[in-house]
Chain A
Amino acid sequence: MRVPLEWLKELVDFSISTDDLILKLTMVGLEVEGVERMEDDTVLEVNVTPNRPDCLSILGIAREVSALLNIPLKFPECEIREEGGPSLVDVEIADEDLCHRYAGRDIRGVTIGDSPEWLKKRIAKCGMRPINNVVDITNYVLLEMGHPLHAFDMDTLRGSRIRVARSRGGTITTLDGTERALPENSLLIWDGERPVAVAGVMGGAETEVKEATKSIFLESAYFLPSSIRRTSKALGLKTESAYRFERGTDIELLEKALDRAASLMAVHAGGKLSKKVDVYPRPFQPSRIKVRYERVNRILGASIPDDEMTDIVQRLGMKAEKGPKEFVATPPSFRGDIQKEIDLIEEIARFHGFDRIPVTVPKIPISKEAKDTRYHLMARVKESFRSAGFTEAINYSFMNPRMLDTLNIEENDSRRRTLILRNPINEEESCLRTTLAPSLIQNLLYNVSRGSRDVRLFEVSRIFIDEGALLPEEKHHLGAIYFREKTPSLWKEEAPDFYIVKGAVQSLLDDLRSGDYLFQPSSEPFLHPGKSGDIIVSGKKIGFLGTLHPYIIEKLSLKVSQQDILVVEMNLDALLASVSGGVKYTPIPRYPFIDRDIALVVDESLPATGVMEHLRAYPTELIEDISLFDFYKGKNIPEGKKSLAFTIRYRAEDRTLTDSEIEELHGKLTAYITAKTGGMVRGT
């Protein structure tokens, strides 16, 4: 709401400085968002919250200033000379549930022309474009008193009648020249034959006031806010008029607004005023609201005296009947927002001053709730990936559905069960993510195209799967992408990229003490079939890691070197469910261990975990640990074979093992594993 101070001063004659006024308005809830200083005036941009339609006018702001400074309000004056006899227009309200009052009068013999300069200047300062004297005056009164008016060219109203009734479909061409389909049940103004205006939203073009107009019918009515809002939304038509009607207008004031506009028209457009028509089937019923003094102070934590409370309420234009424990307030017709005790408590707080309410600390018992372990686990997941060299990304929860095609995701894959936005920002962000991989791939493309050759990112966010219920399944996922061009390193050769990423995953699983895990060849359609693995925790697949399929890289026209791009995604809810709670101490072994190595030459295709599983399955209680310490292919090893070397740690719980005992056991284990794997012991 733009408020020119020169206009405001006409209604309330304050003498404080502009800066002081700005601060006072802001601190009473009318935030001044901007100040425009002009040559001869200053215009304040006041942010009026949706609960205060009464402040959408100079009069409304003046009322607050008057209450705030305790100085009188000067109501806009007007002089009415009804020389034209009774109105020639009959008014009927057919749907009084949507229109509680309809008043109007006709002005015959007007001359359409320019408005006086002062008036043009005022409405222009408020951001409205001058059109002609009649339209400008309706706008002027709208700005001044906050009540929207509408002027019809009376000679175009067929049958000299106005009927307020619901739409029955059909179309209307509105003032802006657009033909619009009329939404079912929207409230319309009809003449004897057809709709001539969308009530409270916009007038029709056929009855518009034009240069040749000789007589006008001026409307001032009260329409049900929710009805106006529905219609305005359905038509996609936001007007100054609808903006005020949908927030609630003053049903009592509308008559004064009508008089104010009519008297201005008589002066500036000429013509004779008829008597008023006023159909008022649902008169304003003032409510009586009890306010308990003690309750006010209890809610606010303050000790405001009873008299101050009633004084504030009275300054705001309400009646206040004082009792010993409570007072009864009667809000005026322009304060539709005040309906309950709490609404008055707010008014008292506002005018008492939020800054004068004490500052205390709540007395509340300490929480008996268990700490949110999930939050802490999530934080550990993030920390684990961060320390493994990944930087955290946060992407929008949206996805381009076409990315699923790019990634070859099959039709029956759960990642295809997307939620689609009705009103997306654009096609690329039109559904909710069912997987984090597409966003991270986009992040990679973005960074590579800007010259980065080291893109290691992870994200922890929710994904959304439509399982047919009202609300989707929301699951927490961890996603990561890894791309790093090898640069000469000072110290030692690093592991191949796949194992670096796998190491990050293993480190996370170990750190969380997740259930038993293993990696199995993956069949994710966008991963390299020979360089990818599903992550299996406690027997269930919770995610995957692997190298992006060369075919996908081609499709994404990603111009990078030979380097692999690795993608990881894990369902954290499934992972965290496998995390065991406590740790139980096991006694430190009392007897020494003995380590023995086995180096095996086996087929290259035999996975290391397979050999490991066979070793673990060997029936003895004396093996404490098995670890793989060497992997070798090449010189001295036959083509198609590889060498794997394990350290076996032997220990007994109850005695020191003897050398001969170990020799025998290790010999048997060696024979067993060569037989199981079809391999042979290296170097023998």
Chain B
Amino acid sequence: MKSKVDSKFTPMIGLEIHCQLNTLKTKLFCSCNAQFRGEEPNTYTCPVCLGLPGSLPTVNENAIDCAIKLAHAFDSKINKRMYFFRKNYFYPDLPQNFQITQYNKAGGVAFADGGTISIKFDNKIKNIELDRFHLENDPGKLVHEGGDIESSNETLVDYNRSGIALIEIVTKPVIESPREARIFLKKLRSIISHCEIVDLTKDGAMRVDANISIKGHARAEVKNINSFKEVERALKWEIKRQINKLKKGQETEQETRNWNGKITTLLRSKESENEYRYFPEADLVPIEIKQDWIDDIKEKMPELPDERIARLQEEYGLKEYDATVITEDKEVADFYEECCKLNENYEAIKNWLMNDIMGILNEENLSISSTELKPKLVDEFISAIDSGKVTTKIAKKYISKIIKGIGIKKWMKKQGVKKITDKEKLNELADKIISDNPDVVEDLKKKPKTFQYFVGQMMKATRGQADIQLTRKILKEKLKKYMK
């Protein structure tokens, strides 16, 4: 069922996306190792990210490199004098009880303003305008022992994540539907992945908050949308809630709501909103982002999704839709192109990669690089199909093994897929196929390549078990009189 929104209620959606710069070696304001995932709690810490008395932050300039890269990708305007503000609020995951961030009011500026991300849907292009993006640090992580924030009676804090660099991207409230939001986020992911500043396979590497309102009415902020997949659902639910309220003649209220995976619930009303008391962070001196620095990074910019989508269509004859899907994740697109270097059946590679292999990886929540999947295996596999050694049916059985690094030949041997080497049986079969296809035999006289058709038919009839060498030999003997 397609949910058609009542036309007199126009939703307006703005997104705030936190991207963890988890490809950096160190945290944003200290030299602690940033690769903290899976480590013993509170071991990747130091006086700075624990907020110990007397400790002071210093800026990791590699995080600024990442931000400059993004500014190029979005075509945002970099504020060349960058400085930080403190956002003051008490929360146990925040060791200083303030966050060091950038602010675009009270004399502050974001890292960069403006910029656009263009998305394509229903055969039209829409430019989603960005408001700004900025750098800030991630808080620690609360672990609610034996329950959630409300039901557990003990909460532990792990500060390993404290101080990890984040970039917060804020769009203007120009997204008009949950579907548009999903398409936008996919495109954003694709850009971020091509910039190689976030390892998107890591949990919580990208987190979304959404501001939703019905045009002309107060907005609600929805927090804790933990996965991209949930964004569309959360938005749909919240829009419906607001429209229902308006239909009843009530007004929506400015408030903060929590997405719990099923519905949104009230977190804070406007009156109890945090008062953040932003003011300049005097421990960090302003940093000049010189034009040389910006130009340097521009020179090293990677190919971005729009260019790549166009090139994939051009080079590999892909349809725009397929090129777009492949490009959503740089790793997948890179892998596709590596395979295409080895094997020219671009269409087959695309089909097997996108339909089957990615399906398995997504199901198991794996990235290509975390498996044993290699372009050589894909080439071997596609060649086996094309040469008729493997039927589609067998291929389907095999395909889940490819991510474990098992080649098709090796697998078939292990499976004990028996080769039919019985000359008499193959002779009989060849005769039948030749007599069943007189028109193809006619074709063969003009196009010797048609020979391959008979090989394919033989393999099909034997479910891929005919010995390929022997089959070819028998067919050649029987058909050579038609071939010049």
Query: Does chain A bind chain B?
Result: no
